[in-house]
């Protein structure tokens, strides 16, 4: 016959497991918030690129060149945000693996300490890289939002009398 531990003991063990898993779950929630910011930026970049496409096709000369330069910048920004999303999602998947190993290690009395440490380190590396790429993208965005000198120096014409 299989010995069954008291019901209170099993519930207490599960409660301890859940407590140890809470920190990675909060990390997962933070990554989700960061992903929300990234996808919002990506949506705005795509909207701006779609807004410029018809203007580009109707433009000529220096105006055309300015639209091309802006579309190239937007394309670079889209790529960077896409990479940051990819790395943040990978970090989130690693957090999920950490949670699974924490539960599995507690339930089966496994020793996953080294695997947990490696997964956590990888998670932090990918999350840090995602933040670094995001920082780089925001610098490009800030540089591209400069007001042209020609507009700043523009003088309104006097209305006809």
pLDDT of residue 103: 80
Domain presence at residue 69: yes
Distance (Å, whole) CA 35 – CA 96: 15
Residue range of the domain that includes 58? 21-146
CA angle 64, 70, 71 (to 5 degrees): 90
Query: Looking at the domain assignment, is residue 152 inside a domain?
Result: no
Evaluate whether residue 156 is within a structural domain: no
Local confidence pLDDT in tens for the 161 residues of the chain: 444 445 555 677 677 777 777 888 899 999 999 999 999 999 999 999 999 999 888 989 988 999 899 999 999 999 999 999 999 999 999 999 998 888 888 777 778 889 999 999 999 999 999 999 999 999 999 988 876 776 677 777 777 76
Residue 40 is assigned to a structural domain of this protein = yes
Report yes or no on 2 lying in a domain.
no
Is residue 8 domain-resident? no
Domain count, the chain: 1
Please enumerate in sequence order all residues whose Cβ is within 8 A of that of 133, keeping only pairs 6 or more positions apart, or say none.
80, 83, 84, 87
- Whether this prediction's pTM lies above 0.85 is answered by no
Q: What is the pLDDT of residue 18?
A: 74
Within a domain: 128: yes
Give the angle 128-114-29 at the CA atoms, nearest 5°.
40
Measured CA to CA in angstroms, residue 140 lies from 34, 73, 82, 110 at distances of 19, 8, 15, 47
In a domain, residue 115? The reply is: yes
């Amino acid at each position: 016959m299989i010995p069954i531990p008291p019901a209170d003991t099993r519930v207490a063990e599960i409660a301890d497991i859940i407590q140890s898993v809470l920190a990675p779950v909060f990390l997962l929630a933070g990554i989700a918030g960061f992903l929300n910011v990234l996808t919002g930026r990506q949506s705005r970049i795509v909207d701006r690129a779609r807004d410029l496409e018809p203007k580009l096709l109707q433009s000529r000369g220096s105006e055309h060149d300015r639209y091309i330069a802006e579309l190239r910048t937007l394309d670079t920004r889209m790529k960077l945000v896409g990479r940051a999303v990819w790395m943040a999602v990978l970090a989130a998947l690693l957090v999920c693996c950490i949670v699974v190993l924490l539960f599995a290690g507690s339930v089966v009395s496994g020793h996953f300490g080294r695997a947990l440490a490696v997964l956590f380190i990888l998670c932090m590396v990918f999350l840090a890289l995602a933040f670094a790429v995001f920082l780089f993208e925001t610098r490009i965005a800030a540089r591209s939002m400069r007001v042209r000198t020609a507009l700043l120096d523009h003088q309104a014409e006097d209305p006809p009398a």
